Amino acid sequence: MKPSRLSARPATMLKRWQLGRRAVIALPLVWLTLFFLLPFALVLKISLSEAAIAIPPYGPLLEYADQTLHVFLNLGNYLFLLSDSLYIAAYWGSVKTAFIATAACLLLGYPMAYAMARASARWQLLLLLLVMLPSWTSFLIRVYAWMGILSNNGLINNLLIGLGLIDTPLRMMNTQFAVTIGIVYAYLPFMVLPLYAHLTRMDNSLLEAASDLGSRKLNTFIKVTLPLSMGGIVAGSMLVFIPAVGEFVIPELLGGPDTLMIGKVLWEEFFLNRDWPVASALAMVMLLLLLVPIVWFHRYQSRELE
C-alpha cells in the first residue's frame, strides 16, 4: 500500500483508508499492550509493595490521607531476596540447568536437523512431522512418562536388575539428572525446528563451490554451514534456554529437594506462602536476568517477521 498507488484516488477516500489503516494497527497493539505489557508494570508495582493480610494480599503503593499523597516504595522484597541464600541458589540452579539442557539439545538437535535438511523432499515433510508430533501431544504427559522410566522401581532399574547388571536400584528420580533429561526431552523439537528451517534454506551451491575449491568436509562445515545456520542456532537455543530457566512442571515432577529452580520457588511463594510481593520481586529479577537473551532472540526473530 504505497502512497503512490493511492494518490490517484479522491482525497476523502484516502482519508477513510488512513483511518482504517490506523484501526487495523490499533487492534493487536491495544490488545497486547493491555494483556501483555501492562501486566509487567503491575508486577513491578506489586514487587515494591508490602505484603499484607488482606485480599489481595499486598499493601497500597499510593495512599491519600490527611490531604497529602503518601507514596510507599518498599525495596524490602528485593533486599529479602538477596539476604536469603535460597533464592540466589535457585537462580543459579535454574541458569545452570537451563544452560546444560540447551547445550545437550543443540548437540543432539543439530545433527538431527542437518540429516533432515539433507533428506529427499518426500522424507523431509515426514521427518519434520515426526519431530514435531510429540510437542503437539501434551507437555505434562511427556514429563510424566519419565516418572515411570526413571523411578526406583521404574523401567530402567527393573531392566538393569533383571539383566543382573546392578543389585540395588540406581537413584535417578528426583535428581539433577532427571530434571535435565526432562528439559531436553520436552524442548528438543523447539531446537530442531528453527535449525531445520535455516539449514534447508541454505544454498547448496555454496557447499559445492567449497568442495570444488578443495575444501574438506569438516572445514566446509565449520566455515560455511555453521556460520550460515547461526540464526537457527540462536533462535533454537533461546527457545530452549529462556523457558527452561523459568520451568516449573519439570523440577516439580522430576526434581527433588536438591534441585532448586526459580520457577518452582516462585510458584511456592505465590501459591503456598501467598506472598505476592516476594513472588513479584522474584519474577522481576528473573525478567532482568533474561532480558539479554530475550532481546537477542527478538533481534533474530524480527528479521524473520519483516
Partner 1 sequence: MMRTLRRFNFSTVMLVLGLLFLYLPMVVLVVYSFNASKLVTVWAGFSTQWYGELFRDQQILSAVWTSLRIAFFAASMAVCLGTVAAFVMTRFGHFRGKTALSSMVTAPLVMPEVITGLSLLLLFVQMAQITGWPADRGMATIWIAHTTFCSAYVAVVVAARLREVDHSIEEAAMDLGSPPLKTFFSITLPIITPALVAGWLLAFTLSLDDLVIASFVSGPGANTLPMVVFSSVRMGVSPKINALATLIILTVSLATLLAWFFMRRSETKRGAALQEAALHDD
Decide: 176 and 115 in contact? Cβ < 8 Å: no
- Looking at 225, 263, 275, 278, which residue binds partner 1 (CB under 8 A)? 263
Cα–Cα distance, 95 to 89 (Å, whole number): 10
Query: Least distance from C-beta 115 to partner 1, angstroms?
Result: 4
Give the sign of the dihedral formed by CA 138, CA 147, CA 243, CA 128.
negative
Q: Rule CB under 8 A: which of 58-97 touch partner 1?
A: none
- Looking at 43, 89, 103, 170, which residue binds partner 1 (CB under 8 A)? 43
- Looking at 154, 170, 175, 177, which residue binds partner 1 (CB under 8 A)? 154
Q: CB-based burial of residue 260 (10 Å sphere; 0-12 exposed, 13-18 middle, 19+ buried)?
A: buried
Residues 267-296: x/- map of binding to partner 1 (CB under 8 A)?
x--xx----x--xx--x--xx--x--xx--
Candidates 66-74, 77-85, 163-171, 265-273; binding stretch for partner 1 (CB under 8 A): 265-273
Nine cell digits for residue 45 = 508495582
Give residue for cell 533474530.
300
Give residue for cell 568442495.
211
Half-sphere exposure of residue 205: CA atoms within 13 angstroms, side-chain side: 0
- Residue placing its CB nearer to partner 1 in the complex, 67 or 204: 204
Q: Rule CB under 8 A: which of 175-194 touch partner 1?
A: 185, 188-189, 192
302 lies in the binding site for partner 1 (CB under 8 A): yes
Half-sphere exposure of residue 212: CA atoms within 13 angstroms, side-chain side: 6
Nine cell digits for residue 282 = 522474584
Residues 93-132: x/- map of binding to partner 1 (CB under 8 A)?
---------------xx-xx-xxx-x-x-x--xxx-xxx-
Query: Least distance from C-beta 63 to partner 1, angstroms?
Result: 14
Nine cell digits for residue 177 = 539428572
Determine phi and psi for 37, rounding to 5 degrees.
-80, -50
- Looking at 76, 169, 243, 256, which residue binds partner 1 (CB under 8 A)? 243
Candidates 62-70, 73-81, 145-153, 162-170; binding stretch for partner 1 (CB under 8 A): 145-153
